[in-house]
Amino acid sequence: MAEDKNIFLRAKQRMYEGLTEDEEKEWSGPFCFIQAADPQLGLMKAWRMGDCDKGGDEWAEEVQLTKQAVQAINKLQPQPRFVVLCGDLIHAMPGCQFREEQEKDLKDVLRATDPDIPLVFVSGNHDLGNAPTPDTVEQYCRAWGDDYFSFWVGGVLCLVLNSQLFFDASGCHQLEEAHEAWLEKQLQKAAESSARHVIIFQHIPLYLRTPDEEDDYFNLQRAKRENLIHRFCQAGTLLSSISWQNPKRMGTCIPTMFTVFNVVSDSVVMLHMLSSLKSVTVQNTVHRLTTNWHYSN
């Protein structure tokens, strides 16, 4: 059971077990990875009922969709080097009565992932709360590992950030300061490193369509956004804020979608987008960062 537990707790001490710089700092040729988001067990019924704050007492649909996603991932050739789930793992906010059961059921499904494909977890607002506290962050870390960390894959440096600390850290200023200090150190290291690419994963995207857009529930506040974009560019970040433009924003509810990315010598390319439910077209928020804030999807 200890080995089984470790697949969810491999992110520790701000690193990821098995994907460290010592093990993976050398470029070893092209590879692919999977980016997914919002399995959010409990959302679909709550959305239909119009009670996304208190609903969510059933999640059989999401379980089935996540099973289909895992089956599809396991069949991919070439095998992805890792799968990253970019937040809102479950729907029940911290303190909600269904939280423990939703976490258990999601883990039961994810255990079917091929053991050779590491699972990387990113925290979202439903995982930490819209305004996280030290307690909610600690709860998340006990269940899913560190809330922010770095890892390396085949010469590519990846940073996992806690974007809720960018959005509203009013209840945990010390955690915000620690996260900021760690990020600054990582960006300096990235600028000086031999990494072929630098990729950043977080739940809340920097922006949805343009860097100068108005503040929205689904993006980061403009002042924070501009600061991060500038710092990410200086560090040589190729891709940032790989996260879904939330399908809920467009009046639909389609959890457990995933995108296949191919990493080659000079770029990271989105190959195709898949859904465990059916083929869908959903805007994907992928920011290729340059000094003039060029946007591409």
Give pLDDT, residue 64.
92
Average pLDDT of the residues in 242-266: 56
Distance CA 285, CA 295 (A): 9
Domains and CATH numbers, the chain: 2-288 (3.60.21.10)
Cα 58 to Cα 262: distance, rounded to the nearest angstrom:
36
| β-strand pairing of 257-263 with 239-244 | unpaired
For 264: left if phi > 0, alpha if psi spans -120 to 50, otherwise beta; the answer is beta
Q: Which residues of 77-107 are buried (b: 16+ CB within 10 A; e: fewer)?
A: eeebbbbbbbbbbbbbbbebebbeebbebbb
pLDDT tens, 56-106?
889 999 999 999 999 999 999 999 999 999 999 999 999 998 999 999 999
What pTM value is reported for the model? 0.87
